[in-house]
């Protein structure tokens, strides 16, 4: 029997996937547990429509991510830090400070957990950080540490 999986099932497949299983497994476990529905022509048509909508949503999201990446790469983000007499900063610059600077200067809210600083930031200067947007979309952002 062919069924359309509603959610991920271990050792069987992912959501929105059409799989062939034994009749008893489908009727006694997958369908009553609301993990799958029978692959009837109407359910297959609904699946196809759902996949089209999902592709449109992903294309829109990708376009939005690309516009954010373009905006972030226009110029470096400036981050103020307190420094000693030798030019070394007290503490270091964190992803929280970078996320706050991007929000204030570029107007985009980025989760601090998606920002990875490549080098240790202990002095004034220009550095790079990676921002991971998910689904393989990532970019490098320059930030400049300046004295407050």
Q: Domains in the chain, start-ordered, CATH in brackets?
A: 2-49 (3.40.5.10), 72-147 (3.10.430.100)
Tell me, what DSSP letter sits at residue 76? P
Query: From first to last of its 148 residues, what are the pLDDT tens digits of the chain?
Result: 999 999 999 999 999 999 999 999 999 999 999 999 999 999 999 999 999 999 999 899 888 888 888 888 888 899 988 888 887 888 888 899 999 999 999 888 889 999 999 888 888 889 999 999 887 888 888 999 988 8
Quickly count helices (H) and strands (E) in the chain.
3, 7
Do the Cβ atoms of 31 and 24 come closer than 8 Å? no
Burial state string for 83-111 with b = 16 or more CB within 10 A and e = fewer than 16: beeeeebeeebebebbbbbbeeebeeebe
Helix axes 41-72, 95-106, angle to 10 degrees: 90
Token digits of residue 8: 């991920």
How many of the other CB atoms lie within 10 Å of CB of 131?
22
Which residue has 């609904």 as its token pair? 46
Q: What pTM was estimated for this model as a whole?
A: 0.66
């Amino acid at each position: 029997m062919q069924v359309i999986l509603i959610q991920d099932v271990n050792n069987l497949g992912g959501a929105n996937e059409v799989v062939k299983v034994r009749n008893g497994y489908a009727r006694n476990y997958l369908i009553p547990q609301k993990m799958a529905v029978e692959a009837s022509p109407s359910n297959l048509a609904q699946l196809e429509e759902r996949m089209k909508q999902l592709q449109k949503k992903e294309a829109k999201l990708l376009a939005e991510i690309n516009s954010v990446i373009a905006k972030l790469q226009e110029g470096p983000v400036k981050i103020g830090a307190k420094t000693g007499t030798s030019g070394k900063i007290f503490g270091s610059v964190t992803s929280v400070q970078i996320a706050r600077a991007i929000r204030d200067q570029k107007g985009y809210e980025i989760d601090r957990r998606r920002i990875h600083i490549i080098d240790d930031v202990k002095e004034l200067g220009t550095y790079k950080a990676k921002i991971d947007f998910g689904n393989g979309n990532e970019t490098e952002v320059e930030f400049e540490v300046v004295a407050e």
